[in-house]
Structure 1
Amino acid sequence: MKTYSAKPLEKMGLQIYELSDSQSRSTVEIIPEAGNNLYRFECDGRQVMLSPDSLSALKSEPMASFKYGTPILFPPNRIKNGTYRFRGRSYRLPINEPPDHHLHGELCSRAWEVVGSGASQEEGAYLISRFRYADHPDLLAYFPHELVFTVKYRLYEGRLYFHGTIVNEGKEAAPFAFGLHPYFNIPFDAGERLTLNVPAKEEWPVTNQAFVTGLPSVTPFAAALNEGAALAEIPPLDCSLIALSEGERTCRIGIGEQGYSIAFRIGEGFPYVVLFRPDWGAAYSIEPYTCLTDPFNLPYGEELTGARGIEPGEVIKLSASIWVDSV
């Protein structure tokens, strides 16, 4: 009997891809035509991601592409007034969070192209999808750079791996700001003892929309994250921006009475995380970013903000992984 499988399925008129690992009782579901959203990850009977009540919502409901599963963000979070400058060029992004801001980009709502899938004992089950700016003239009209995003989701031995590759196929440097927005399914209303561990170096002061208001410092909350903060005490719509420590960078959400934790290992390409508790579902987000919110409009250097470019021909690789541990 094969341990792994990768297959297309149809649900509610939409094509999804299912990756499964029978030995760990793990299943992943991804919908390429709705932002390549990995909206379901179940491991040993535990629902790891917050999924929408209706799969069609990811395509039909306003802003639903930001609110469930694992949205892919380019740029992450908000751009104030949808405008910024990079190397002498002005950019004006559409205002999709009226009345003032651009939020999370459009990769999380557009259709991605599936370029490969498969399963083997050596590699597990995987899906490879791609998004090319050159295929979207309306996006090129305000972001004139031929970037190509390739994402490989891989399920192996009960662990879910994200491998992202971004290539600049254009002739000019492009502003680069990327993030992920996984919504982890958390039983806030079950009376559980919930803890949040993040390898925090410093905390940036931010507004409730994650806009930076000053320089970072070692705060009591940053210190608590290293020891295990009380997750249930964090109110809905609370937002924090954390600079991660170097070295091993695994975040954990502990669900005490049920005896397990959700582990989220963040690759070196993501120096920051936004921590956010939504008010539309029992979930918590640990969002790895390559930069701060609205980095190109901040009055600080690139070494602090992560406001970098991707040069012609340059390749950027990013990674992360998620799994469930018994405690």
Structure 2
Amino acid sequence: MTDKAIGRAFEQPFHDEAAVWLQWANFEAAVLPNIGANLIAFRDTLNSISFLREPAADQMDDFRARPIVHGIPLLFPPNRYEDGKFPWNGTTYNFPITEEARNNHLHGFFHNAKFDVLDYGTTKTESFVVLSISVHKDHPIYTYLPHTFTIQLRYSLSEQGLFQHVQVRNEGNDALPCLIAFHTTLNAPFDSASSSDDYRFQMTIGNRWEMSERMLPSGKFQPLLKEEELMKSEGISPFWAPMDNHYTAVPQNGRNQMVLTDTRTGISLVYDVGTAYKQWMIYNNNATPGFFCPEPQTNLVNAPNVDIDADTAGVVSLEPGGIWEETGRLYVKYGK
């Protein structure tokens, strides 16, 4: 079988939005360069499975207005910052208040930004796309993050599933706050013939952070409920209770991951992320069946404002000329 028969990379709209598509064997994926390089689709076409929550054609305007709970949006810096304040190296950056009810800034500046497509194509082992965004003095994001840097994303499809490589390069003369997450939004059920009751997930969580009414951490931990202990072992429904929960990440057997299993079919989706992601967020839309978000995150929510050491909080100070990078993978285990 030739490369072209099992792998393709091409430009074609996703509904009415510009997209680059990847195909390899029974897998396909699509990424949206103009909306934060959001990996909006990851599918097993042979088994009619859609692993990620995708907007329908008539939902695209709503999606563009709030592109957080579909696909895999990039968050930089991720999650909430109290009163929009971000103290850094003796000064304080003022971020816009985007969560007015709690007076927080939420989710950073890249989930709806335009990325450049640097390259796409196929090799003997994969189809791939490379996307990039560079912030400099003339870029609108520089107003809030006055640093010169580039974020590059590379997605590839192969027989092993979907692979993600993210890289941040500090091209300026001062230290860059490097805080990053992905608001990964998974369908549950991902097989339309199953129901949400068929699904269980496991996750490499450690401690649960105590959160205020503003969803900001106190710096203290809460005892885990017995159901949360099940998340670390045999698994539990993604909708066992409303979750907008924040946990430390504690790798098990050297791996930092979430596993979502359809007990009807025996198919499991493994979300294996790097150990640089020291925190997990879990959001399930008030326990509403349909989707939930296991979000790998490098840093504690509101980290620069919490009285805790930088390493525990996951605050990375990327030196001039420095490169930070990490990988993740979504792959499928077929049971029964």
1:229 equivalent to 2:230? Answer no
Paired with 2:220 and 2:231, the residues of 1 have a C-alpha distance of 19
Distance 2:183 2:278 in 1: 15
Matches within 5 A, 1:1-327: 1=2, 2-22=5-25, 25-43=26-44, 44-54=47-57, 57=60, 61-63=64-66, 65-99=67-101, 100-122=103-125, 124-134=126-136, 136-187=138-189, 190=195, 192-207=197-212, 210-216=215-221, 219-220=224-225, 221-236=227-242, 238-246=243-251, 247-278=254-285, 282-327=290-335
- Letter of the aligned partner of 1:321 in structure 2? R
- C-alpha separation in 2, matches of 1:29 and 1:187: 20
Q: What is the CA-CA distance between 1:219 and the residue it aligns to?
A: 2.1
SS at the partner of 1:118? strand
Amino acid at match of 1:79: Y
CA distance in 1, matches of 2:31, 2:214: 28
Give distance in 2, aligned partners of 1:191 and 1:277: 12
Shift in Å at residue 206 of structure 1?
Answer: 2.4
Q: Give deviations 1:157-200, integer Å, cap 9, x for gaps.
A: 14101100100001011222100111011029825332121122
Paired residues in the alignment total 322
1:151: Cα distance to partner?
0.3
**Alpha-carbon shift at residue 217 of structure 1 (Å):** 5.8
Cα drift, residue 55 of structure 1: 7.6
Distance 1:323 1:55 in 2: 29
Secondary structure in 1 matching 2:231: helix
- The superposition leaves residues 198-221 of structure 1 with CA deviations (integer Å, 9 ceiling, x where unpaired) of 122222222476421242366235
Distance 1:209 1:164, change over 3 A: farther
Aligned partners of 1:254 and 1:178: how far apart in 2? 27
Once residues 61 and 38 of structure 2 are traced to their aligned partners in structure 1, the CA distance between those partners, rounded to angstroms, is: 9
Aligned CA distance change for structure 1 residues 154 and 135 (closer, same or farther; 3 Å): farther
Give the CA deviation at 1:278: 2.2
1:57 counterpart SS class:
helix
Contact 1:3/1:121 (8 A) holds in 2: no
CA distance in 2: counterparts of 1:138 and 1:40, whole angstroms: 28
RMSD over equivalenced CA pairs, Å:
2.2
Structure 2 stretches lacking a partner, 5+ long = none
Distance 1:209 1:234 in 2: 23
Relative to the length of structure 2, the TM-score reads: 0.89
User: Cα–Cα, structure 1 residues 59 and 145, in superposed 2: closer, same or farther, change >3 Å?
Assistant: farther
In 2, distance between residues paired with 1:232 and 1:265? Answer: 17
Name whichever of 165-174 and 53-62 sits farther off.
53-62
CA displacement, residues 62-91 of structure 1 (integer Å, 9 cap, x when unaligned): 32x112111100011111111121110110
* Structure 1 ranges of 4+ moved more than 6 A: none
| TM-score, normalising length: structure 1 | 0.91
Conservation of the 8 A alpha-carbon contact between 1:181 and 1:286? yes
- Secondary structure at the aligned position of 2:294 is classed as strand
Q: Which residue identity does 2:320 align to in structure 1?
A: P
1:54/1:15 CA distance change after superposition, 3 Å: same
Distance 1:253 1:60, change over 3 A: closer
**Matched-pair contact (CA < 8 Å) for 2:148–2:172:** yes
Instruction: Please tell me the residue identity of whatever aligns with 2:55.
Output: P
Superposed CA deviations along residues 240-262 of structure 1, whole A, max 9, x for unmatched, are 21212232223201111132111
Change in 2 beyond 3 A, CA 1:321/1:135: farther
Deviation at 1:98, TM superposition (A): 2.1
Q: What is the rounded CA distance, in whole Å, between the counterparts of 2:61 and 2:33 in structure 1? A: 11
Distance in 1 of aligned mates of 2:37 and 2:138? 16
